[in-house]
């Protein structure tokens, strides 16, 4: 190999190494986890922490106290059988479930909150849409986004089979919703003082959604922003939480 070629390759390698170092992150999510990628509205988004170590929150999420009720501290276990998770577990869910199509990340807040900023990969299904007292077509659309659907009108044989299942202790008997293909779901709202996602979870359980397929991100937007993690706002990706 010619010396000039060897020198050229060495310079190229050194340049690549310098470029890699220049993009090294000082603020990782975890020691070996600088970022996680996902899709939001058809585009790839990198979820990472703000690199400015002097960054401070300067919005409503800096508040420590809100009138209770309705803004009361939520329990760690929002309902029996429902798993409560933190940020690392949520990011693992995004990577292993959401990105592979087997999970759904639900921003359960009202649309006005959602438009101010949301966690990448989330879809907005306001907590009110899971209310069992809503018109059936609204519930059908909301549950459909999670992979559940309404059963067709049962036949005589179906009714008999439901009766047999009921006698055996199967709680799905007689339900009008089919959750056999329902996906795992994480619900979140504004934080540990917000009751919107807990209410959505309780309504889902009342409708028959399997508790083992539901996860509750209690920290919500307040904890997400406090860690400087990427927030999606309309028409742009917002990394500065100020």
- In order along its 242 residues, the chain shows pLDDT tens digits of 454 444 444 434 433 343 344 357 899 999 999 999 999 999 999 999 999 999 999 999 999 999 999 999 999 999 999 999 999 999 999 999 999 999 999 999 999 999 999 999 999 999 999 999 999 899 999 999 999 998 875 554 455 555 555 566 554 444 689 999 999 999 999 999 999 999 999 999 999 999 999 999 999 999 999 999 999 996 655 554 44
Question: Is the Cα dihedral 165, 171, 177, 178 positive or negative?
Answer: negative
* pTM for this predicted structure: 0.81
pLDDT at res. 25: 85
Cα–Cα dist 22/38, whole Å: 24
- The CA dihedral of 217, 221, 226, 227, to the nearest 10 degrees, is 60
CATH superfamily of 27-147+182-238: Rhodanese-like domain (3.40.250.10)
Which of these, 29, 49, 45, 11, lies nearest to 89 by C-alpha position?
29
User: Collapsing DSSP states into helix, strand and coil, what is residue 239?
Assistant: coil
Calculate ∠ Cα 71-75-78, nearest 5°.
105
Extents of the domains making up the chain: 27-147+182-238
Q: Count the helices and strands in the chain (H runs, E runs).
A: 7, 11
pLDDT at res. 169: 57
pLDDT at res. 165: 52
The pairing of strands 177-178 and 83-85 is: unpaired
pLDDT at res. 151: 82
């Amino acid at each position: 190999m010619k010396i000039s070629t060897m020198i050229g390759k060495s310079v190229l390698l050194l340049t690549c190494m310098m470029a890699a170092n220049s993009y090294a992150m000082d603020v990782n999510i975890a020691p070996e986890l600088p970022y996680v990628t996902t899709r939001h509205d058809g585009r790839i988004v990198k979820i990472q922490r703000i690199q400015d170590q002097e960054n401070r929150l300067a919005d409503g999420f800096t508040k420590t106290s809100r009138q209770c009720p309705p803004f009361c501290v939520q329990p760690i276990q929002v309902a029996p059988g429902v798993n409560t998770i933190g940020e690392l577990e949520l990011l693992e869910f995004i990577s292993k479930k959401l990105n592979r199509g087997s999970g759904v990340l639900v921003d359960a807040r009202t649309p006005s909150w959602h438009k101010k900023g949301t966690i990448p990969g989330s879809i907005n299904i306001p907590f009110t849409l899971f209310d069992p007292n809503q018109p059936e077509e609204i519930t059908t659309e909301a549950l459909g986004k999670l992979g559940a659907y309404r059963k067709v009108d049962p036949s005589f044989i179906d009714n008999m089979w439901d009766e047999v299942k009921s006698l055996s202790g199967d709680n799905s008997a007689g339900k009008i919703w089919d959750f056999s293909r329902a996906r795992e779901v994480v619900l979140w709202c504004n934080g540990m003082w917000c009751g919107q996602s807990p209410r959505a979870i309780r309504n889902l359980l009342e409708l028959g959604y399997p508790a083992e397929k539901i996860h509750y991100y209690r920290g919500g937007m307040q904890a997400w922003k406090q860690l400087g993690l990427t927030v999606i706002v309309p028409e742009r990706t917002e990394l500065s939480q100020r």
